[in-house]
Structure 1
Amino acid sequence: MLKTDLPPSYEESRNHPYGNPHGNYPQPPGYGFPAYGIPPQPPVPYPVQPGMQPPPAVRHCPAFHCPGVPPIIPTYGPSGVPRSSPSTGDAEGFASPGAWDSRAIRHAFIQKVYLILAAQLIVTVAIVAVFTFVDPVRSFVVQNPAVYWASFAIYFVTYIVLVCCEKPRRVFPWNLILLCVFTLAMSYMTGTISSYYDTKAVFLALLITAVVCVIVTVFCFQTKVDFTSCTGLFCVLAMVFLVIGIVTAIVLSFQYVPWLHMLYAAIGAIVYTLFLAYHTQLLMGNRAYALSPEEYIYGALALYVDIVQIFMFLVQITGASSE
């Protein structure tokens, strides 16, 4: 046996990092990373001695590209879909189809609310015109105050029944029937109030109400101010206005004070203008609070009450100024 075929001594194996440099031992594996300036070497067959087991096979893979492992780990969004997926939008920032579907539902909801509101206002304007232009009807209401007070009773009873029985998922036909009854009751009450004032005052109040509603609606759809986040403030404002109304009614029942009546009407017009802005933003769906798409009856009812109340307060102001 030659000397070169002998196994290395202890000192030679200890001093050399890879064993005997003169033997036929394999090169160290690259572990997927080629050495600097040295191409990866193919594995050299390990000399198997009699009675020894061969070493386990070593898996050699190119650097950073092992089979079965993706080169880039995808990131996932909140919905569990990879952000690089084309279904969530491209790099230009386009919205996903789900966002467009919800926006279409919200637009259909707003359209439905304003269609119902337009029908209610047409009925109210027609009934107010009857009480204003038909002299026998106007004279009958003025000569019989019971008709005037009966309109208030019908309005409050219908309003309470409609609020208590409003079921968004059972909207047809009972809620629509109650809404029609409520519209007729409030139109009747508005007509009886208008019969006590001059025709010019009624027209002026109607014109101012239309201008105020258009301005408030455009402002709510364009502004960044969120009225729906001030729900507590609006609740306090409603309580204060209710107390002011009760005190004003008690004072005016003993002695009529014109300036107090006008002050109360001006405060009422301002308060219901703010409520109109609040209820308009509830329809939009992009604020702190929003109505459900199934609650279009409530949305139309809220806007209708605000507009009619603004008209009734304005007709009191314009009627007093014309006198």
Structure 2
Amino acid sequence: MATMATEHDEGTPLKVSEHAPPATGYQDSPPSYSENEGMFARTLDDTTIRRYFIRKVFVIVGVQLLFTFGIVCVFTYSSDIRNFTQATPAFLYSSFGIFIVMLVALNCCGDIRRQYPWNILCMTLLTLSLSYMVGAIASNYNTASVMIALGSTVAVCLAIILFASQTRFDFTLCYGFLLVASIVLLMFGFFSIFFYSRILQIVYGSLGAMIFSIFLAADIQLMLANHRYGLSPEEYIFGALILYLDIINIFLYMLMIFGGDR
């Protein structure tokens, strides 16, 4: 195979795909997969492996989204479940704790993330806990607002997936900008607590939906590995995780836009 250029970080090594020009002074070496090393790898020549990886990622994400949005519909349409959720905040706090533990385990523990069945178990617990939290949040909004936000999320995500898979613009180079934008969004949300207004809520929701839409486009290209950076086929759980979280965040910000004064 041709010699590939590499870029090193303090954390996970990133490797340039075949579309980038080769650099001199680097030698081929087998990838390391200890802990978080080897999360990102160069695009494989074997397109069959890449297509199988993409299919596996989207199947996992599809199952997660069907379950989560099913829970959202149940929480929205059932007044009994809505009342139970609002009367028992302990379940919400417990779900949040489980979600954080599973998120840290899947992001920071490479062996768990790549080892069956622990990776599936952690992903299942994360999906269950996040689904309950999203359903509990949606239960505070009226049914029409939730359905509009849900339909808007589906339309936006499908458009982004199609655009990101066809465009030549490399969204994977935008991760630095997205990190800064996320920090600014977090600070904006914190100060919005003390200066609340409906207009400010719409602006905040619009900014959040836009930022995570760019995240989704970048992560889609990371799956396809047809730009500068690509995700290793061993990291199908990590790939499903980031796409799932992107879409859920888009839905929550859409809900903030269409939800009215809540």
TM-score, normalized by the shorter chain, greater than 0.5: yes
- Cα shift at 1:264: 1.4
Whether contact under 8 Å (2:209, 2:253) holds in the other structure is: yes
Q: TM-score, normalised by structure 2?
A: 0.78
Matched residues in 2 for 1:170 and 1:210: separation?
Answer: 29
Residue matched to 2:254: 314
**1:1-20 equivalence runs, <5 A:** none
Residue matched to 1:277: 217
Give the unaligned 5+ runs of structure 2.
Answer: 4-42
Whether contact under 8 Å (1:155, 1:189) holds in the other structure is: no
Of structures 1 and 2, the larger Rg is shown by: 1
Residue matched to 2:70: 126
- Cα shift at 1:149: 4.2
Provide the alpha-carbon RMSD of the alignment. 2.4
Higher deviation after alignment, 135-144 or 276-285: 135-144
- Cα shift at 1:274: 0.8
- Cα shift at 1:152: 3.2
The letter for the 2-side match of 1:108 is Y
**Per-residue Cα deviation, 1:136-194 (whole angstroms, up to 9, x for no partner):** 11112233444444443333233223222243784311111000000001101100001
1:201 maps onto 2:145 in alignment: yes
**1:79-90 equivalence runs, <5 A:** none
Residue matched to 2:158: 214
Residue matched to 1:113: 57
1:244 maps onto 2:179 in alignment: no
Structure 1 or 2: more helix by fraction? 2
Residue matched to 2:103: 159
Relative distance call for 1:178 and 1:232 in structure 2 (3 A) is same
Q: Select the residue among 190, 205, 223 that pairs with 1:265.
A: 205
Residue matched to 1:51: none
- Paired residues in the alignment total 223
Matched residues in 1 for 2:225 and 2:187: separation?
Answer: 32
Q: TM-score, normalised by structure 1?
A: 0.64
Whether contact under 8 Å (1:128, 1:187) holds in the other structure is: yes
Whether contact under 8 Å (1:169, 1:294) holds in the other structure is: no
Matched residues in 1 for 2:174 and 2:92: separation?
Answer: 36
Q: Percent identity over the alignment? A: 40
1:227 maps onto 2:171 in alignment: yes
The letter for the 2-side match of 1:273 is S
Residue matched to 2:232: 292
- Cα shift at 1:243: 2.2
The letter for the 1-side match of 2:100 is F
Give the unaligned 5+ runs of structure 1.
Answer: 1-76, 80-98
Matched residues in 1 for 2:179 and 2:47: separation?
Answer: 29
Relative distance call for 1:215 and 1:78 in structure 2 (3 A) is closer
Relative distance call for 1:245 and 1:78 in structure 2 (3 A) is closer
SS at match of 2:169: coil
- Cα shift at 1:123: 1.1
